[in-house]
Structure 1
Amino acid sequence: MTRILNTFMILLALLVVFPACEGKPDENPDPVKLTSLPAELNFEAAGGTLEMTITSGIKPTISCSDNWISLQEGTYASNAIKLSVTAKENTGTSSRSTSIRVIGDKQSLMVPVKQGIAQVKLSVDKTSVSFDRFGGEATLTVTSSEQPTVASDASWCIVETGTISSARETKVTILAGANRTASERKGSITVSCGSEKVTVSVSGEAMGSIATASTTVLTPEMVFNAMGPGWNMGNHMDAISNGVANETVWGNAKCTQSTFDGVKAAGFKAVRICTTWEGHIGAAPAYRLEDKWLDRVAEIVGYAEKAGLVAIVNTHHDESYWQDISKAYNNAANNEKVKDEIFCVWTQIANRFKDKGEWLVFESFNEIQDGGWGWSDAFKSNPDPQYRTLNEWNQVFVDAVRATGSVNATRWLGVPGYAASPGFTITGLVLPKDYTSANRLMVAVHDYDPYNYTLNNPLVRQWGHTADPTLRCSNTDEANVVAVFDQLKAAYLDKGIPVYLGEMGCSRHSDADFPYQLYYMEYFCKAAADRQLPMYVWDNGAVGVGSEKHGYIDHGTGAFVDEKAKSLIDLMVKAVTTKDPAYTLQSVYDAAP
């Protein structure tokens, strides 16, 4: 009986406990998971409205920050809310996306929204593009749904792709370099947009042969009479900073018509417009010259023309940049690249001025050398590779100019030797093959002899046979100058090949030593004139006394910088233009201070 009673009591206790446990509420129920259906929205370009359902344990907060999306919420019930999402029409040229932010019960959700663009069949307005041998620029118009991708498989031309417009059009510019080869060039431009592709064929005319132009011979006397004396507008259009040529960056004012009128009034017949192109040349292979810089050079050439001056245009301090012979003479690939750039640059310069009269002269380079000015170990041990490289460059220059035709077919051309040094020129220069029935080439050299008197820092104070022996370079100053001129005469002038001294002159000396500088200027110029060597005085605009002070004419106004400058130029003009038979080199020598 007792056992039965105990069992009954246990069962009764269980009946009391279990119902109590089953009826106790859950203190931490699982929250309703925040979800959206669908998980993202995708709109067509035309826009419209799409529906979605948000599931949330509480009424969620819903927002979108982009104004092309608007939201309309329904009623929240049974842990769900309907949402109408409306997208405006996408009139742009690229797909767009945003997100709808949903904040629920301790949960948040970002619903992606995307909208495409109207689809336009890819098309290009040209199926082929042809360039003449001078290269240049051509334009394609691409119509596409979105920004296209454009690529060239031709190494001789590049493409520049603009930005697609609201009209779904993209301008593509093709830039081709001048062709200096005898072969026609071919290639293709591929335009892609998504899975669509269009191919445009491109071709470039072969250079072909340059016809021989019939002309009269250019004599030393003709060149001397046309050019002597001449003035260098130095440290001006050749000035450069941070790899970009700039007219005023070295301190000279912008030149004007008054500058050249003043140069003419001072007695000069010619001006050398030293021009650096670095910083104004586009990328390979087209090497397109910047219009603004070329226009400024053309404007200055116009000043010279209006003033009645012969003008020389060259490539100047480019020798320190893309015309670096130290990286070309022993590297065939680099050498070919430089020659391509020379050809393209000079093709463009020549084409710009092809109809100007023969008063405009082109000079290939300035002072090409490897940085050692003839004293580098590489040059001293074997100068021939550098001589040969410069000779090749001069030939490319002549080819480029002559190929443009018109007046350029017979234009006077100046070609310098190594470092523009008289000695290195005589030794290493091989005159380029020309395409004229008679010679139209001139040899360009520079002569600042003796360097220690004219340029060195500090300057040797005096010059000439009457100078203090302790203050001059040597006791044969005059003979040294004459010897160089006689070497040039024997090598070129006596053979009918004109030579001009593209640079010469002397840094300004002190008042005490100035009489010797006057004598140097007169003797140098008279000795040159006697041999029909026209000379261009170097004028960098720098005033004062000391090394590299070569100011004569104010580059902005054309006025003399001071009376001493005028007295030097007056002697230069006198030495070149005086016809009195009593005025001789010996008479100048005898009148030394």
Structure 2
Amino acid sequence: MKKLFVYFLGTITCLVSLFLGACSDEDDTGSPYLKISKEELTFGKHESEALLYIQSNVAYEVSSDAADWCSVVQQVSTSQKTAKYLVHVTENPDTEVRTAVITIKGAEVNGSVKVVQTANDYLLVAQHEYELPGEGGEFLVEMQTTGDCQVEIDADWIQRIETRAVETRTETFVADQNVTGEVRTATIVFTLDDLTESVTVTQNILSTPEPDKTGMEQDAPDLMRNIKIGWNLGNSLEAAGGETAWGNPATTLAMINKIREMGFNAVRIPCSWDQYLNDETTYEIKATWLARVKEVVDYCMQNDLYAILNIHWDGGWLENDIPNGYNEEVNNKQKTLWTQIATYFRDYDEHLLFAGCNEPNVEDEDDMATLLKYEQTFVDAVRATGGKNVYRNLIVQGPSTDIDKTMQYMNALPVDETPNRLSVEIHYYSSWQFCGMEKDESWGKAFYFWGEENKKYATGAYEGRWDNICGESYVQAQFQKLKERFTDKGIPVIIGEFAAVRRTLPDEQAQEGHDLSRAAFDECVVREANARGLVPFYWDRGDGVLDRKNLQVYDELEYNGLMNGIK
């Protein structure tokens, strides 16, 4: 305040100089006159002072009509012509601006100065509690305030969408749907200097609509026959640390447009949820993350693509815990997450499918029994959300998504109240020496070449690098087992992931053989899967067939192999 007063006093001094200059030629023997340095004085809400200068050639009196808070006291002046007065105001305790009038009155002259003091801070909301429907939407908070206050919201499912700095105003907020399955609360805090007002918002559970079969006419066998080849948006929405943390750009509509243009008619969207929770105890998913996932799903819908949305590895909270036996808290988390996901995406038609997990860690019958309970929870949670989800096609994973384990341990599927809406998912990376091994291990060598036509490249320094374990006949036999166990009985099977890692070899001829081998492998998987009614989804982690940054085909040879497989 001291600095402000010095500045103000300096300003007054400048005004006085101007004032005295204007009056210096005044003739004392002339007509009566009265000159005042200010017609109006304005003060802030706090206690303050200002100088007022008066010049006249007749006697006068100075008074204030609000002496209880605005006083006027004459000061010593070095000028014989100009009088100096100190105007003092106390702090304004009121919430309204107040005014006073200083009157200068002489026998033949009169004048006045208006004094204005701003109001003290005032902040009052009209209503402190709001109850919202589960469907969400806009709601208004009316308030009275003397300034533009700060707004803090302790939940991401409420957004402030309008702000106006006027004395009486309405703040507009919008609440997302409550997909959590439980009543939830949030607090909005308004702050103006040292004043605060808070509003508590309670949102009820979203109502469960009646079953709705509109746009959901196809059962699992019919729908899966429509998918010839799918593509995985790998290493993006499931990436630990955020969508771009593993080197891929953020997913765009243009990217999915390109996938459609390339000939894929379905997209699998591996998705993380655990790192996007508001609360690890309630498992409430952040509204911002649900909205982002929705954007990506919508990209697929705009291209008339089928889309599979899952809970991927997600830190392993379910998949890695299976060998520890059934865990009620894991089961509760599975139910809570899928209730939210299914509710949020409930109104999408049959182009959107849900998959319960990714690669559940199962080694024996006990593990399989645990997995089956978690898969049953997934199915029940989705169906319980009503609407189109009563008929949504769902995908459950075989043990470790391994074909042999699935044949051995998966002797039953979850019970589903809606018939013919379940599919089984396996992944195909056989042999691992060719598909995934980056370097030689103690138990075996990495294979660089695959297929009878590429066996010739495994000579010299590359002797023993040809896949002699899982060639074309092996692919056919494995897929035939799935056909007979599931597809022939009306249970579709999707190969949710398949691919072979790209290696860089120092020898040009060997590199050619390796590239041809990968293309041959992809073509074989797609061809043999389609021949048996299985649905293949190519795994692309960002270095597969699509250059996501430039939206160009990344590997023409491999891409042609995939497309040849569906001809």
TM-score by length of 1: 0.59
Distance 2:315 2:258 in 1: 31
Q: Which amino acid aligns with 2:540?
A: D
Distance 2:144 2:484 in 1: 69
Pairwise CA distance, 1:164: 11
Q: Counterpart in 1 of 2:219?
A: 218
| CA displacement 1:278-309 (0-9 Å, x = unmatched) | 6666555464244762463155225522xxxx
Which of 548, 560, 565 is 2:558 aligned to? 565
Does the residue aligned with 1:350 lie in a helix, a strand or coil? coil
For the Cα contact (< 8 Å) 1:136–1:178, is it kept in 2? no
Q: Counterpart in 2 of 1:422?
A: 403
Q: What pairs with 1:25-36 in structure 2 (closer than 5 Å)?
A: none
1:363 aligns with 2:343: no
Does the residue aligned with 1:227 lie in a helix, a strand or coil? coil
Does the residue aligned with 2:495 lie in a helix, a strand or coil? strand
Distance 1:186 1:278 in 2: 19
Does the residue aligned with 1:535 lie in a helix, a strand or coil? strand
Which of 341, 361, 365 is 2:337 aligned to? 341
Does the residue aligned with 1:301 lie in a helix, a strand or coil? helix
- Structure 1: where are the runs of 5+ without partners? 1-44, 51-68, 77-82, 94-114, 543-550, 575-593
Q: Counterpart in 2 of 1:123?
A: 126
Q: Which amino acid aligns with 1:511?
A: E
Which of 310, 314, 320 is 2:309 aligned to? 314
Distance 2:311 2:496 in 1: 12
Does the residue aligned with 1:399 lie in a helix, a strand or coil? helix
| CA displacement 1:447-503 (0-9 Å, x = unmatched) | 112112111112312334674683345456444433432332233112111111121
- Structure 2: where are the runs of 5+ without partners? 1-43, 50-68, 77-85, 97-117, 440-445, 504-510
Distance 1:523 1:177 in 2: 46
1:505 aligns with 2:499: yes
For the Cα contact (< 8 Å) 1:180–1:207, is it kept in 2? no
Q: What pairs with 1:460-539 in structure 2 (closer than 5 Å)?
A: 460-464=447-451, 467=455, 470-475=464-469, 477-508=471-502, 510-539=511-540
Does the residue aligned with 1:367 lie in a helix, a strand or coil? coil
Pairwise CA distance, 1:312: 1.2
Q: Counterpart in 2 of 1:42?
A: none
Q: What pairs with 1:379-458 in structure 2 (closer than 5 Å)?
A: 382-384=366-368, 386-396=370-380, 398-399=382-383, 403-405=386-388, 408-425=389-406, 427-428=409-410, 431-434=413-416, 436=418, 438-458=419-439
Q: Which amino acid aligns with 1:227?
A: I
Q: Which amino acid aligns with 1:234?
A: G
Distance 1:472 1:480 in 2: 14
Pairwise CA distance, 1:536: 1.5
For the Cα contact (< 8 Å) 2:92–2:119, is it kept in 1? no
For the Cα contact (< 8 Å) 1:502–1:535, is it kept in 2? yes
Structure 1 residues 517, 295: closer, same or farther in 2, change over 3 A?
closer
For the Cα contact (< 8 Å) 1:316–1:365, is it kept in 2? yes
Count residues with an aligned counterpart. 446
Distance 2:302 2:284 in 1: 32
For the Cα contact (< 8 Å) 1:485–1:531, is it kept in 2? yes
Q: Which amino acid aligns with 1:523?
A: C
Q: What pairs with 1:226-265 in structure 2 (closer than 5 Å)?
A: 226-235=226-235, 237-238=236-237, 240=239, 243-246=241-244, 250-252=247-249, 255-257=252-254, 259-260=255-256, 262-265=258-261
Does the residue aligned with 1:362 lie in a helix, a strand or coil? strand
Pairwise CA distance, 1:504: 1.1
| CA displacement 1:163-222 (0-9 Å, x = unmatched) | 9966476667766743648xxx698989999999999795635766864859766354x3
Q: Counterpart in 2 of 1:79?
A: none
For the Cα contact (< 8 Å) 2:157–2:287, is it kept in 1? no
| CA displacement 1:221-268 (0-9 Å, x = unmatched) | x34541112222333x43635x2223x8514585554x5555445443
Which of 89, 95, 104 is 1:86 aligned to? 89
Q: Which amino acid aligns with 1:141?
A: V
Pairwise CA distance, 1:124: 0.9
Distance 2:269 2:181 in 1: 27
Structure 1 residues 417, 167: closer, same or farther in 2, change over 3 A?
farther
Q: Counterpart in 1 of 2:38?
A: none
For the Cα contact (< 8 Å) 2:138–2:174, is it kept in 1? yes
Structure 1 residues 144, 420: closer, same or farther in 2, change over 3 A?
farther
Identity within the alignment, %: 17
Structure 1 residues 391, 74: closer, same or farther in 2, change over 3 A?
farther
For the Cα contact (< 8 Å) 1:232–1:503, is it kept in 2? yes
Q: Which amino acid aligns with 1:387?
A: L
Q: Counterpart in 2 of 1:271?
A: 267
Distance 1:277 1:121 in 2: 39
Pairwise CA distance, 1:413: 3.2
Distance 2:196 2:268 in 1: 55
Does the residue aligned with 1:345 lie in a helix, a strand or coil? helix
TM-score by length of 2: 0.61
Distance 1:188 1:298 in 2: 28
Q: Which amino acid aligns with 1:443?
A: V
Q: Which amino acid aligns with 1:573?
A: I
For the Cα contact (< 8 Å) 2:239–2:272, is it kept in 1? yes
Q: Counterpart in 1 of 2:303?
A: 304
Distance 2:531 2:484 in 1: 14
Distance 1:319 1:541 in 2: 19
Q: Which amino acid aligns with 2:358?
A: E
Give RMSD over aligned pairs: 5.2
For the Cα contact (< 8 Å) 2:256–2:300, is it kept in 1? no
Q: What pairs with 1:113-262 in structure 2 (closer than 5 Å)?
A: 117=120, 123-124=126-127, 129-132=131-134, 136=136, 139=139, 141=141, 143=143, 167=167, 177-178=178-179, 180=181, 202=202, 204-205=204-205, 211=211, 213=213, 218=219, 220=221, 222-235=222-235, 237-238=236-237, 240=239, 243-246=241-244, 250-252=247-249, 255-257=252-254, 259-260=255-256, 262=258
For the Cα contact (< 8 Å) 1:245–1:276, is it kept in 2? no
Structure 1 residues 47, 166: closer, same or farther in 2, change over 3 A?
farther
For the Cα contact (< 8 Å) 1:118–1:145, is it kept in 2? yes
Does the residue aligned with 1:512 lie in a helix, a strand or coil? helix
Q: Counterpart in 1 of 2:292?
A: 293
Structure 1 residues 90, 131: closer, same or farther in 2, change over 3 A?
same
